[in-house]
Amino acid sequence: MLVRELRKRPEPWHQYADSRHRWLVPFHGLEWMFEWTAYYLSRWALLEVLEYLGALSVLIAVVFYFAETGDRIKQKHYQAWQVINTAQGKGGSGGRIEAMQELNMDGVPLVGVDASGAFLFGIRLPRASLSRCNLADCDLRDSDLSGSNLSWSDLRSANFRHAKLHDVIFANSNLSGVDFVGAELWNADLSGARLGNTDLRFADLRGIRWRHIADIQATDVYGVRNAPEGFVAWALAHDAVSLPEDDH
């Protein structure tokens, strides 16, 4: 904010002008005129009122900006959902990676989202609420869904190669044909999940909950790492296979 002060009355012209340097007279004249202008304006109350009004308008703008924060967030979420729904049933990303990550960062549940067939390579959705979603045939390689809930979901033939799936809940989901090669499934909950024809080669299975898996027929457990005691023997006894990589 400008600080207004009453200016001293300028000197008369005959005292102000320097007659020794006539070529400077025009410049002195301009300076003298500006000093008188500033002198009169410093006494004009309207300028002070306008200054206060300017500061008040800034304050009002700030108040309205914060008051409308909720509406802007709603609009942002609406646009993100529009991107996801418009791309439904189409291949590629279609902006869904950014849209889903943005919604998840804002704590918006992604329950029931349909992104089947989408290219979601490297997507980051930690602790996402994705129950009853459809991610069938999705490319989710190198993704991070740690701590997410994917229970009761359709994940058939999805590609989770080298994905981080720590503490993910896959309970009662369809994992038929899923590619988990090299994935980190630490403490994943597979209760009630169907893993028919699933590829678990070289996946890290430390701490998985496996005792109530619904189906593991033809699932390849070759080279699994840190599997819980008894898991591999149980899987092979229930028609899983252990095939070297060259046999695929």
Kindly report the pTM of this predicted structure: 0.72
Average the pLDDT over each of 13-22, 33-42, 167-176 and give the range with the smallest value.
Answer: 13-22
> DSSP secondary structure string, 138-175?
-B-TT-B-TT-B-TT-B-TT-B-TT-B-TT-B-TT-B-
Residues 42 and 106 in one domain: no
Residues 104 and 175 in one domain: yes
> Higher confidence at residue 28 or residue 62?
62
Q: Is residue 2 part of a domain?
A: no
Residues 177 and 212 in one domain: yes
Name the residue type at position 125: L
Q: Is the pLDDT of residue 112 over 90?
A: yes
Nearest alpha-carbon partner for 168 in 125, 121, 228? 125
Residues 118 and 46 in one domain: no
Nearest alpha-carbon partner for 119 in 143, 144, 138? 138
Number of domains in the chain: 2
pLDDT on residue 179 = 98
pLDDT on residue 73 = 85
pLDDT on residue 67 = 65
Residues 221 and 130 in one domain: yes
Q: Is residue 22 part of a domain?
A: yes
Q: Is residue 77 part of a domain?
A: no
pLDDT in tens, 163-220: 999 999 999 999 999 999 999 999 999 999 999 999 999 999 999 999 999 999 999 9
Domain at 115, CATH number: 2.160.20.80
Domain boundary among 51, 67, 83: 67
Average the pLDDT over each of 14-18, 70-74, 142-146, 233-237 and give the range with the smallest value.
Answer: 14-18
Residues 120 and 217 in one domain: yes
Q: Which domain holds residue 56?
A: 13-67
Gap between the Cα atoms of 170 and 185, Å rounded: 10
